[in-house]
């Protein structure tokens, strides 16, 4: 290690030289912020490169805004935003709309009947006649539904919105539902700017929630795919559900029973509350003409009516009094998850956590890699990240998570012990100057590389603006990260990475019954 | 219930009236956009390496990807996994003059990333660095290639990790489906083979050294380089660091004969509420002259929301979140498969719908609208293959690496434009054969809607 010293000095000198070229400040100078009268924020950045533009639009709403009974609304709504408008996706919107209302009432009735039936089935023998009568009703409703749905499918022009986008060269057309934010992304060749504005504004301002019930099934399949059949996700879901007892961050993925009961009407209510221009940020990065882009945005987004500002989440996660542990038995090999409660993005201590995460697990020279994967050889891997995810931090206090898999013969508890020893070291030994310097060099490099990709840049700008109310939070955050000291690391580790503040989740393989005939 | 209906109607009506801004998107003018794939500088090094350089000063960064023609295809079955381990330990095992820890430290300290991997028929070394450390990184990369140490200790750790990964292979149903599919369609071939604990344990340091010396050759290497360097600096640096590297001998790239695939349905019981499956067989190689028509055909069948598989299985039936198809092309052959995951109770229904959609494409061909959508989608989004400087460099280098002409990318677009409905029908009939399908299903048979033997004889695979 000592051999590196001359290089270290050289690198530091070079770093000083370059801060003048790519500083956090230079990013600010290139962003043009424009707010429409209805409150819609545009962040526009012209830059050289291919004749294309990248868009990410953020709504300041996520699954943390759901309350019991409509868990999954933010996510299902995100899916419904792809179903078109009154022009795109239908041959006769008026008739379609009437049919959808009828379909909703039939589904509502059917759901009620099915719930009643489930209850009666608990005492099946005593309720035979009632169940029979219910089944007859259910069959009748299902018949009417099938009729309505076949008529609806005649009216729907499937995927018309996608077709318009794809034939025009849309790239990366997608969306995501976070805990604090929901994002919509797409990129186009530069000559499609007006088309993008026209279609995107129509679908964001006036979406039609067609094909609602099939999409509800799709969202449930997404849960099965991403959580139910994946051991690591099942473990993580329990970690989060255990670490948070009050704050809505406790729900890693919407529960099936909630999604299954969501109605189109509830989704419309959620949309009306949160999808307001004043609650949205549209970032566009690329080969664009800024005045022309603003003009088009005025033309197409200008009529979007401002809705009353939604109220903020007001749940404070209560203080934790003592370690929490949870076990998940699953058909998979052992895994360890540890979570510590930490601060929200705007707390002065928050800048210390990205430093700690990188000290522990970024790269081959990180402490986990050197000491757990190599060294003690107890881990296959050991990673650190924040939940809810995101390099910018979370709107409310979140958790620092360690995810690790033991390497046989080491067990989950061997690995847990080794991880906790590394955490203790943070509290008792100051970080060496060179190690802290390494982290800061990496943060600088990450910041520069963060501008390489158009989606990445549009993403960070819109997310920072939505989270902090100002995209310049990106550069302010760089300054805060750069000023973190070895003392800060030790103090924050001592204060937050404590046993009392910790939740541990362990995945244990199901012991399979062996039918040994011999 | 009636009450709910009325409320819904009343609440939705105002929305209906509030809607005034109907935009006819057909009337929107699309200005002309002339896009030409950017040119790269090309220069040769004395040992046969060809460098494709794209100059770009928009950010103070440099990217380099080196592609090598080597891979697991050159490894005997009893050493399966050797190529992967060699690629990994080339990077982690230090060099003769720089111990592994120092090597890592020098890169990590300045926030530069150097990685190395080796797969079935290609190896890659990738570098991402800030401009001011580019020379230091080129130096480290050249030491790595010219005098790799393949440290025994790093091999031991990598082998242990690989054994742990093998132990965990059946944890994820995606891995099981993929592994079993390739094992069945490429029996006894490197394409379908997987390392086992026995083969991994047998791999020694000498095996790594021998594999590296005889298969990683500058003559079979291209470099894609881009970023904040002048053309002169780029050439001087590439020559300084990567010339003068010559291996003792190089073995020929050979493609072993591929046995006929094992078709039928293969079932793996796993206690899950969703079934994962993959349907397909061998496909086409990268040089197949009909690959353009195949690309358009596959776009219509299974790429994106507008494709037939997604429309039917996801949008209309709500049976899956992720569904689609792929014609994966390799050097001498490839694979075709359609994939999906659906709730256990709909397993047979989903499989039969998928096969039905595929059969319909073969029998009925495609409509003129479908053809236009697919072609426009490919052609109009092609620009995004050149959206970053390194994408430009890699695109050009890859053409050379795969033996395509320098204007191969422009030709591809021309060819796509020329694909007709007839072409699509022809390649669908020629390259998809439902009677030869290999179907892999992982799921819980207790939930299945129907027994799977309707799709052919079922062979059970025990994990």
Beta bridge partners of B280: B337, B438
Considering only CA atoms, which of A252, A310, A397 is closest in space to residue A59? A310
Residue A284 C-alpha from the chain's centroid = 20
Residue predicted with more confidence, A13 or B282? B282
Residue A147 neighbours by CB distance under 10 Å: 12
pLDDT band, very low/low/confident/very high, at A477 (cuts 50, 70, 90):
very high
Distance from CA of B56 to the nearest CA of A (A): 9
What is the pLDDT at residue A445? 96
Claim to verify: residue A369 and residue A296 sit in the same structural domain = no
Q: Rounded CA gap, A222 and A225, in Å?
A: 5
Task: Please indicate if any CB of chain A lies within 8 Å of the CB of B342.
Answer: yes
Answer whether residue A265 is part of any domain: yes
Examine the fold and report which residue of A234, A269, A301 is the final residue of a domain before the chain moves on: A301
Q: Regarding beta strands A41-46 and A280-286, do their DSSP bridges make them parallel or antiparallel, or are they unpaired?
A: parallel
A351 and A484, same domain (yes or no): yes
A263 and A367 assigned to the same domain: no
- For B323, phi then psi, to 5°, come to -150, 145
Phi, psi at A428, each rounded to 5°:
-110, -25
Cα separation of A422 and A432, whole Å? Answer: 15
Residues A173-193 have pLDDT tens digits of 999 999 999 999 999 999 999
Contact A149, B293 (CB under 8 A): no
Do the beta carbons of residue B112 and residue B127 sit within 8 Å? yes
Clarify whether residues A421 and A346 are in a common domain: yes
State the sign of the Cα–Cα–Cα–Cα dihedral B342, B345, B347, B348: negative
Helix (H) or strand (E) holding A186: strand A182-189
Distance in angstroms (rounded) separating the CA atoms of residues A325 and A505: 6
Other CB atoms within a 10 A radius of the CB of residue A36 amount to 18
Chain B residues whose beta carbon lies within 8 Å of the beta carbon of residue A194: 28-30
Instruction: Answer whether B57 touches A (CB < 8 Å).
Output: no
CB contact under 8 A, A167 and B376: yes
Q: Do residues A371 and A463 both lie within one domain?
A: yes
A248 and A204 in a single domain? The answer is: yes
Inter-chain touch B1–A109, beta carbons under 8 Å: yes
- Mutation target for B interface from A103, A104, A105, A335: give the one with most B CBs within 10 A: A105
Q: For the segment B226-282, what is each residue's pLDDT rounded down to a tens digit?
A: 999 999 999 999 999 999 898 777 788 777 777 788 899 999 999 999 999 999 999
pLDDT of residue B261: 84
Q: Within this chain, do residues A406 and A479 fall inside the same structural domain, yes or no?
A: yes
The full set of domains in chain B, from first to last, is 41-242 (3.30.830.10), 264-460 (3.30.830.10)
- A246: distance to nearest CA of chain B, Å? 29
Strand partners, B189: none
Instruction: Pick the more confident residue, A133 or B17.
Output: A133
Radius of gyration of chain A (CA): 26
By CA distance, what is A106's nearest residue in B?
B1
**For chain A, what is the domain count?**
2
Q: How far apart are CA A254 and CA A335, in angstroms?
A: 23
| The two three-digit tokens of residue A506, written as one number | 């362990």
Q: Is the peptide bond before A417 cis (omega within 30 degrees of 0)?
A: no
**Residues 6 or more apart in contact with residue B422 via CB below 8 angstroms:** none
Predicted confidence (pLDDT) at residue B20 exceeds the cutoff of 50: no
Cβ distance B164 to A380 less than 8 Å, yes or no, reads yes
Under an 8 A CB cutoff, do A88 and B167 touch? Answer: no
Contact B25 A380 (CB under 8 A): no
Q: Do A221 and B343 touch (CB under 8 A)?
A: yes
- pLDDT band at residue A514, thresholds of 50, 70 and 90? low
* Beta sheet of B123-130, edge-to-edge order: B41-44, B50-55, B221-227, B61-68, B123-130, B113-118
Residues A263 and A342 in one domain: no
> What does the pLDDT look like over A225-273, one tens digit per residue?
999 999 999 999 999 999 999 999 999 999 998 999 899 999 999 999 9
The answer to whether residues A286 and A359 belong to one domain is: no
Nearest chain B residue to A226 by CA: give it. B321
Average pLDDT for residues A51-59, to the nearest whole number?
97
DSSP state of B189: S
Residue A189 with chain B: CB contacts under 8 Å: 33, 35, 380-381, 383
Q: Can you give the CATH number for the domain in which A234 is found?
A: 3.30.830.10
Q: Same domain for A386 and A283?
A: no
Structure tokens at A423: 């955490």
Helix pair B82-92, B205-215: axis angle to 10 deg: 90
Q: Nearest-CA neighbor of A182 among A93, A319, A276?
A: A276
Q: Considering CB atoms only, which of A162, A195, A454 is closest to B306?
A: A162
Contact call for residues B30 and A195 (beta carbons, < 8 A):
yes
A136/chain B closest Cα distance in angstroms: 18
Helix A5-18 to helix A433-449 angle (10° resolution) is 40
Asked if A367 and A422 touch (Cβ cutoff 8 Å), the reply is yes
Q: Is residue A341 part of a domain?
A: yes
Q: Pick the residue from chain A with its C-alpha nearest to B111.
A: A442
B275 reaches A (C-beta below 8 A) = no
Would the CB atoms of B23 and A231 count as touching at under 8 Å?
A: no
Cα of B217 to nearest chain A Cα, Å: 27
Residue A68 structural domain: 52-90+156-301
The confidence score (pLDDT) of residue A513 equals 64
Distance CA A398, CA A385 (A): 11
ipTM of this complex: 0.92
Q: Which two tokens stand for residue A274?
A: 């949160």
- Does the pLDDT value for residue B293 go beyond 90? yes
Structure tokens at A342: 């930490």
> Do the Cβ atoms of B343 and A224 come within 8 Å?
yes
What predicted TM-score, i.e. pTM, was given to this entire model?
A: 0.92
Asked whether residue A102 carries a pLDDT value surpassing 60, the answer given is: yes
Question: How many C-beta atoms surround the C-beta of residue B378 within 10 A?
Answer: 21
The last residue of a domain, from among A267, A301, A335: A301
In a domain, A124, yes or no: no
Residue B66, phi then psi, degrees to nearest 5: -105, 130
Look at residues A397, A402, A388, A385 and name the one whose alpha carbon lies nearest to residue A345.
A397
Is A20 a domain residue? Answer: no
Q: Are residues A418 and A475 in the same domain?
A: yes
- The answer as to whether A6 is a domain residue is no
Confidence of residue B14 (pLDDT cuts 50, 70, 90): very low
DSSP state of B95: B
Across the beta sheet with A335-341, what order do the strands follow?
Answer: A324-330, A502-509, A335-341, A399-406, A379-387
In 10 A of CB A256, how many CB atoms? 16
In a shared domain, residues A259 and A402: no
- Answer whether residue A254 is part of any domain: yes
Q: What tokens appear for B153 in the block?
A: 């200790």
Question: Which alpha helices (H) appear in B119-172, and where do they start and end?
Answer: 134-146, 152-167
Query: Minimal Cα distance from A217: which residue of B?
Result: B318
Tokens 């380089």 found at: B225
In a domain, A358, yes or no: yes
The pLDDT value given to residue B1: 31
pLDDT in tens, A287-312: 999 999 999 999 999 999 999 877 77
What share of chain A has pLDDT > 90, as a percent? 88
Whether A113 is covered by a domain: the verdict is no
């Amino acid at each position: 290690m000592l051999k590196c010293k001359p290089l270290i000095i050289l690198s530091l000198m070079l770093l000083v030289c370059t801060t003048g070229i790519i500083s956090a400040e230079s990013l600010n100078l290139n962003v043009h912020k424009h707010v429409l009268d209805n409150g819609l924020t545009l962040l526009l950045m012209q830059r050289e490169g291919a004749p294309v533009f990248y868009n990410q639009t953020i709504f300041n709403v996520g699954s943390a805004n759901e309350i019991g009974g409509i868990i999954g609304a933010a996510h299902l709504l995100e899916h419904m935003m792809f179903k078109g408008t009154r022009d795109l996706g239908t041959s006769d919107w008026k008739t379609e709309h009437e049919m959808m209302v009828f379909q909703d009432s039939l589904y509502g009735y059917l759901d009620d009947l099915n719930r009643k039936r489930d209850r009666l089935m608990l005492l099946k023998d005593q309720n035979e006649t009632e169940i029979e009568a219910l089944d007859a009703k259910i069959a009748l409703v299902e018949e009417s539904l099938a009729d309505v749905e076949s008529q609806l499918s005649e009216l729907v022009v499937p995927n018309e919105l996608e077709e318009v986008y794809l034939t025009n060269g849309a790239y990366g057309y997608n969306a995501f539902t976070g805990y604090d934010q929901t994002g919509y992304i797409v990129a186009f060749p530069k000559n499609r700017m007006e088309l993008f504005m026209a279609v995107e504004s129509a679908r964001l301002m006036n979406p039609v929630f067609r094909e609602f019930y099939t999409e509800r099934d799709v969202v449930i399949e997404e849960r099965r795919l991403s959580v139910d059949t994946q051991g690591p996700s099942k473990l993580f879901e329990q970690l989060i559900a255990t670490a948070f007892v009050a704050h809505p961050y406790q729900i890693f993925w919407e529960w099936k029973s909630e999604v299954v009961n969501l109605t189109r009407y509830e989704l419309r209510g959620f949309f009306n509350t949160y999808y307001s221009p004043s609650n949205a940020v549209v970032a566009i990065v690329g080969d664009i003409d800024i005045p022309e882009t603003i003009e088009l945005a005025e033309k197409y987004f200008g009529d979007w009516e401002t809705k009353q500002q939604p109220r903020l989440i007001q749940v404070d996660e209560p203080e934790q009094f003592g370690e929490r542990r949870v076990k998940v038995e699953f058909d998979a090999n052992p895994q360890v998850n540890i979570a510590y409660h930490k601060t929200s993005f705007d707390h002065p201590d928050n800048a210390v956590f990205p430093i700690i995460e990188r000290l522990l697990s970024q790269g081959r020279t990180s402490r986990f890699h050197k000491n757990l994967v190599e060294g003690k050889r107890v881990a296959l891997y050991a990673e650190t990240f924040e939940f809810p995810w995101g390099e910018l931090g979370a709107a409310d206090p979140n958790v620092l998570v360690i995810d690790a898999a033991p390497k046989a013969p080491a067990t989950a508890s061997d690995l847990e012990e080794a991880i906790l020893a590394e955490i203790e070291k943070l509290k008792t030994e100051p970080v060496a100057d060179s190690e802290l310097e390494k982290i800061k060099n990496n943060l600088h490099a990450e910041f520069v590389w963060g501008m390489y990709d158009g989606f990445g840049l549009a993403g960070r700008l819109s997310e920072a603006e939505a989270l902090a109310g100002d995209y310049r939070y990106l550069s302010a955050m760089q300054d805060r990260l750069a000023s973190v000291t070895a003392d800060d690391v030790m103090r924050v580790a001592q204060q937050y990475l404590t046993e009392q503040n910790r939740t541990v989740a362990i995945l244990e393989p199901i012991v399979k019954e062996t039918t040994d005939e011999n | 219930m009636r009450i709910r209906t009325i409320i819904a109607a009343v609440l939705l009506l105002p929305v209906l009236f509030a809607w005034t801004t109907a935009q006819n998107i057909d009337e929107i003018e699309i200005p002309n956009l002339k896009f030409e794939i950017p040119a790269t500088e090309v220069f040769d090094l004395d040992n046969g390496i060809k460098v494709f350089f794209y100059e770009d000063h928009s950010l103070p960064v440099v990217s380099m990807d080196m592609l090598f023609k080597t891979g697991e295809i050159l490894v005997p079955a009893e050493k399966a996994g050797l190529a992967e381990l060699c690629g990994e330990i080339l990077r982690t095992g230090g060099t003769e003059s720089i111990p592994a820890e120092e090597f890592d430290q020098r890169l990590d300290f300045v926030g530069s990333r150097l990685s190395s991997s080796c797969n079935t028929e290609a190896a890659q070394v990738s570098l991402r660095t800030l401009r001011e450390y580019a020379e230091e990184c080129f130096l480290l990369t050249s030491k790595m290639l010219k005098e790799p140490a393949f440290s025994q200790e790093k091999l031991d750790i990598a082998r242990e990790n690989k054994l742990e990964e093998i132990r965990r292979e059946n944890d994820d149903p995606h891995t099981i489906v993929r592994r079993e599919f390739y094992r069945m369609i490429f029996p006894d071939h490197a394409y379908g083979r997987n390392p086992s604990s026995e083969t991994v344990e047998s791999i020694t340091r000498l095996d790594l050294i021998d594999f590296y010396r005889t298969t990683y050759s500058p003559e079979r290497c291209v470099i894609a380089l881009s970023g904040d360097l002048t053309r002169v600096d780029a050439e001087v640096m590439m020559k300084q660091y990567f010339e003068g590297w010559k291996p003792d001998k190089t073995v020929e790239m050979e493609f072993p004969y591929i046995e006929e695939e094992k078709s039928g349905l293969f079932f793996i019981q796993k206690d899950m509420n969703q079934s994962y499956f993959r349907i397909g067989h061998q496909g086409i190689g990268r040089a197949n002259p009909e690959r353009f028509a195949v690309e358009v055909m596959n776009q219509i069948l299974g790429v994106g929301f507008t494709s037939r598989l997604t429309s039917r299985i996801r949008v209309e039936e709500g049976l899956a979140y992720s569904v689609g198809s792929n014609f994966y092309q390799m050097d001498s052959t490839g694979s075709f498969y359609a994939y999906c995951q659906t709730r256990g109770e709909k397993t047979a229904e989903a499989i039969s719908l998928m096969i039905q959609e595929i059969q319909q494409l073969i029998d009925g061909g495609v409509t003129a609208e479908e053809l236009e959508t697919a072609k426009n989608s490919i052609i109009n989004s092609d620009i995004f293959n050149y959206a970053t400087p390194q994408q430009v460099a890699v695109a050009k280098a890859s053409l050379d690496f795969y033996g395509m002409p320098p204007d191969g990318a422009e030709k591809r677009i021309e060819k796509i434009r020329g694909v007709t409905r007839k072409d699509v029908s022809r390649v669908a009939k020629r390259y998809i054969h439902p009677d030869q399908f290999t179907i892999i299903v992982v799921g819980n048979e207790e939930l299945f809607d129907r027994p799977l033997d309707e799709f052919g004889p079922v062979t059970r695979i025990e994990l």
